[in-house]
């Protein structure tokens, strides 16, 4: 995904990149650029201790492991430092109907056979009276149901994939972790508040930043990680913002930490509420909670009361408010400025995509690394690919709201009745008629992800693929039974998530050395 950059040796080469804003987005960007660009390009990061960072969630998706591999991060050390736990998927409660609960599990669901994805064989069996759930064929789902976890690449002596996972951690400590482990001298941190953005008269390119202390910070290229303010991309360059609130209606969030709950669930929980939803994320030292809601349908005080009434432990602070507009910048890259993180757009944290969108944005930028002229064709291609990614993530999130049968509150009635983007409407109808799901190019969410949300929220296909009928009935039953047996047997050998975290030594004080049993547990999770 990432590669070390070998710059073109010419007078137009970019020699200095300036990142505006710290936090998770800023330090992820700085760490990746420092690793990729090496000493061929100076990197400076401007941040102010006066400006707080936004923390709306502390969960990730499996692609974050690519960051670790590229940066050479020791996972045990990361988990210790960030008070982290492991994540097998997202449990969604009450989204389709009151009382519903299903898991969007990472990893494989069953096995493909011949030309067909697994779910067509499962649909055939179900049509003949088989009552086994789709999730009976997912090792991640089985492990989550019993709060089990181990790092397991593959199920031994079988074609089944193993555990696919991500992290749940303290996002502020994650940014600190990256900052402290960047090679000495690779990134110049500049403390200061930007009060003016200076642009070149002839083309409007950003030339330098003036800080409150009078210092000027010049650069060849600027990366805006300044959060919702979009200090460069919007404040200076007036790029414009595309509002998606008519599809993703929540516009506010409240976040609060509570005392640690036991067991530490190896999955993120999302609970549909009257006018939005609530998250719950288990960490080693506390539980992260938040309420994402629409201010059109509930007051801030009512939203806070709902959040506090549904905590598992005692609150450790007052709820912290956040206001946002779901959507994206009309251009992520404008002139010699690239927006990342909240400066580029906001998709709300229902599927924990925020850090990934930073990561993929940096990877895309490195793959198209420009010279100081920023070729307009290159910029246009970057923006095209970014829009493709954001729109497909957007559609996946909208599905969680649109695919509801709830009519108990005005909020859910509006969600169920709303018109959705044509791209999503087409995908839903294709699945409803044929059971087919097609992943477009390299969009983020897999066919298995779409399948679980569609079925979990009661969008049922009228048919399965006719080729599934080619398999003889005894062979079909054996095929399905063998997968269930492998899933059950493997899951029974996994340790509990709490035990795994303790056995990895990550319950010690952050930053202290631990006696890791990673290799042993990966080979023999029992």
HEC readout, 481-513? HHHHHHHHHHHHCCCEHHHHHHHCCCCCCCCCC
**pLDDT surpassing 60 at residue 92:** yes
Q: Which of 278, 214, 167 is nearest to 501 (CA)?
A: 167
| Mean pLDDT, residues 223-244 | 97
How far apart CA 448 and CA 105 sit, in angstroms, is 9
pLDDT at site 518: 36
Residue of 53 and 363 predicted with greater confidence: 363
**pLDDT surpassing 80 at residue 221:** yes
Measured over the CA atoms of residue 152, residue 77, residue 265 and residue 24, the dihedral's sign is negative
pLDDT at site 2: 55
Span 451-469, pLDDT tens digits: 999 999 999 999 999 999 9
pLDDT at site 105: 98
Residue of 230 and 514 predicted with greater confidence: 230
Number of Cβ within 10 Å of residue 163's Cβ equals 25
Residue % of the chain over a pLDDT of 90: 90
Q: Which of 333, 327, 446 is nearest to 384 (CA)?
A: 333
Mean pLDDT of the chain: 93
Span 98-119, pLDDT tens digits: 999 999 999 999 999 999 999 9
Q: What are the Cα distances from residue 331, in Å, to 108, 144, 337, 381, 418?
A: 35, 39, 10, 11, 27
The terminus-to-terminus CA distance of the chain in angstroms comes to 33
In this prediction the pTM is: 0.93
Residue of 471 and 520 predicted with greater confidence: 471
pLDDT at site 207: 98
How far apart CA 246 and CA 377 sit, in angstroms, is 32
Q: Would you call 14 exposed, middle or buried from its count of C-beta atoms within 10 A (0-12, 13-18, 19+)?
A: buried
- Catalytically active residues are 87
Q: What are the Cα distances from residue 415, in Å, to 167, 276, 402, 411, 442?
A: 30, 10, 5, 6, 28
**pLDDT surpassing 50 at residue 509:** no
| Mean pLDDT, residues 428-439 | 98
Q: What are the Cα distances from residue 55, in Å, to 85, 258, 265, 297, 391?
A: 17, 15, 21, 24, 23
Q: Quick one: tokens of 486?
A: 């492998």
How far apart CA 511 and CA 387 sit, in angstroms, is 39
**pLDDT surpassing 90 at residue 437:** yes
Measured over the CA atoms of residue 365, residue 367, residue 370 and residue 374, the dihedral's sign is negative
| Mean pLDDT, residues 46-54 | 78
Confidence of residue 449 (pLDDT cuts 50, 70, 90): very high
Confidence of residue 140 (pLDDT cuts 50, 70, 90): very high
How far apart CA 499 and CA 505 sit, in angstroms, is 10
Confidence of residue 264 (pLDDT cuts 50, 70, 90): very high
Q: Would you call 473 exposed, middle or buried from its count of C-beta atoms within 10 A (0-12, 13-18, 19+)?
A: exposed
Q: What is the DSSP letter of 474?
A: H
CA 50 to chain centre: 27
**pLDDT surpassing 70 at residue 147:** yes
Domains of the chain from N-terminus onward: 16-56+170-243+327-391 (3.50.50.60), 85-168+394-492 (3.50.50.60), 252-318 (no CATH)
**pLDDT surpassing 70 at residue 130:** yes
Span 352-402, pLDDT tens digits: 999 999 999 999 999 999 999 999 999 999 999 999 999 999 999 999 999
pLDDT at site 261: 87
Q: Quick one: tokens of 76?
A: 């045990």
Span 403-426, pLDDT tens digits: 999 999 999 999 999 999 999 999
Q: Quick one: tokens of 323?
A: 């206001």
Q: 142 near 47, Cβ under 8 Å?
A: no
Which of 222-243 are b and which e, b meaning 16 or more Cβ less than 10 Å from the residue's Cβ? bbbbbbbbbbbbbebbebebee
How far apart CA 108 and CA 296 sit, in angstroms, is 39
Q: 259 near 222, Cβ under 8 Å?
A: no
| Mean pLDDT, residues 476-503 | 97
How far apart CA 62 and CA 167 sit, in angstroms, is 8
Look at the chain and count its residues.
526
How far apart CA 226 and CA 231 sit, in angstroms, is 6
Q: Quick one: tokens of 301?
A: 């005080």
**pLDDT surpassing 80 at residue 21:** yes
pLDDT at site 52: 64
């Amino acid at each position: 995904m990432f590669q070390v950059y070998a710059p073109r040796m010419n007078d137009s080469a970019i020699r200095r990149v300036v990142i505006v804003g710290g936090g998770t987005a800023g330090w992820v960007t700085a760490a990746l650029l420092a690793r990729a660009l090496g000493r061929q390009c100076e990197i400076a990061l401007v941040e102010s201790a006066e400006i707080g960072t936004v923390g709306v969630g502390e969960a990730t998706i499996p692609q974050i492991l690519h960051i670790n591999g590229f940066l050479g991060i020791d996972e045990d050390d990361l988990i210790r430092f960030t008070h982290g736990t492991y994540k097998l998927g997202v449990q969604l409660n009450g989204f389709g109907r009151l009382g519903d609960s299903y898991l969007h599990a990472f990893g494989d669901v069953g096995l493909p056979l011949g030309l067909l994805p697994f779910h067509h064989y499962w649909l055939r069996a179900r049509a003949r009276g088989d009552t086994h759930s789709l999730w009976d064929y997912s090792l991640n789902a089985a492990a989550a149901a019993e709060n089990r976890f181990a790092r397991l690449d593959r199920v031994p002596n079988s074609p089944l994939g193993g555990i696919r996972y991500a992290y749940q951690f303290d996002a502020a400590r994650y940014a600190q972790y990256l900052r402290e482990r960047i090679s000495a001298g690779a990134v110049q941190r500049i403390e200061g508040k930007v009060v003016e953005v200076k642009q070149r008269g002839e083309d409007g390119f950003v030339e330098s930043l003036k800080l409150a202390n009078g210092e000027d910070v010049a650069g060849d290229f600027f990366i805006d990680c300044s959060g919702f303010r979009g200090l460069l991309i919007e404040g200076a360059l007036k790029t414009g913002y595309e509002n998606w609130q008519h599809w993703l209606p929540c516009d506010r969030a409240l976040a609060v930490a509570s005392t640690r709950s036991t067991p530490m669930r190896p999955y993120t929980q999302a609970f549909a509420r009257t006018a939005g939803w609530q998250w719950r994320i288990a960490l080693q030292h506390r539980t992260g909670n938040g309420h994402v809601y629409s201010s059109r349908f509930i007051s801030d005080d009512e939203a806070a009361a709902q959040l506090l009434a549904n905590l598992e432990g005692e609150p450790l602070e007052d709820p912290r408010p956040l206001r946002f507009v779901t959507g994206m910048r009309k251009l992520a890259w404008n002139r010699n400025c690239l927006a990342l993180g909240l400066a580029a757009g906001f998709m709300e944290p229902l599927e924990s995509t925020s850090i990934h969108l930073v990561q993929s944005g940096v990877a895309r930028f490195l793959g198209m690394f420009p010279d100081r002229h920023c070729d307009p064709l290159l910029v246009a291609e970057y923006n095209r690919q970014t829009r493709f990614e954001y729109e497909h993530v957007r559609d996946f999130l909208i599905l969680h709201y649109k695919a509801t049968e709830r009519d108990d509150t005005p909020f859910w009635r509006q969600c169920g009745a709303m018109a959705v983007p044509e791209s999503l409407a087409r995908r839903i109808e294709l699945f409803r008629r044929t059971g087919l799901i097609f992943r477009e190019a390299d969009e983020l969410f897999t066919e298995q992800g779409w399948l679980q949300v569609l079925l979990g929220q009661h969008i049922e296909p009228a048919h399965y693929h006719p080729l599934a009928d080619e398999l003889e009935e005894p062979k079909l039953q054996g095929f399905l039974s063998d997968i269930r047996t492998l899933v059950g047997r493997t899951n029974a050998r996994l340790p509990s998530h709490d035990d795994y975290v303790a056995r990895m030594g990550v319950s010690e004080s952050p930053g202290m050395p631990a006696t890791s049993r990673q290799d042993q547990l990966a080979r023999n999770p029992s």
